[in-house]
Structure 1
C-alpha cells in the first residue's frame, strides 16, 4: 500500500519557526500531517534490519 506524499520539509519548518519563542509555544499541525509522519516513520523503521552485526571488541560507555 503506497503512502501519500507528505511535505516533511514544510512540517520541519513549522516546528522550527517557534525556535527562540517562549517555552510551551504551540505549533499547529493538522492531524493528517501527524498521521503521515507517523506512517512514514513506521515504514522507515520497518525497512531497517532488526539485527546489527558488529565486530568484537565493543566498548560501551
Structure 2
C-alpha cells in the first residue's frame, strides 16, 4: 500500500466496499486497508474523486 493508493482506498470505504475486496484488488493485507481507514497510515491523504476504471463493481 502506498500514499498513491490511499485516496481511492478511502473513497472505496466511503462507498461501502468491504475491506477484503479492496485488499484483494491491491493484492495486499486487509490490515493495511484497516490502518488506512482508521488513520494509522496515510491519515493526511485526501479522498479520491473516483475509483480506478478496473476497480471491481460493488456487490
Same fold (TM over 0.5): no
Higher relative contact order (CA 8 A, sep 6+): 2
Give the TM-score, by structure 1 length.
0.31
Q: Computing the radius of gyration over CA atoms, which structure comes out larger, 1 or 2?
A: 1
Give the TM-score, by structure 2 length.
0.31
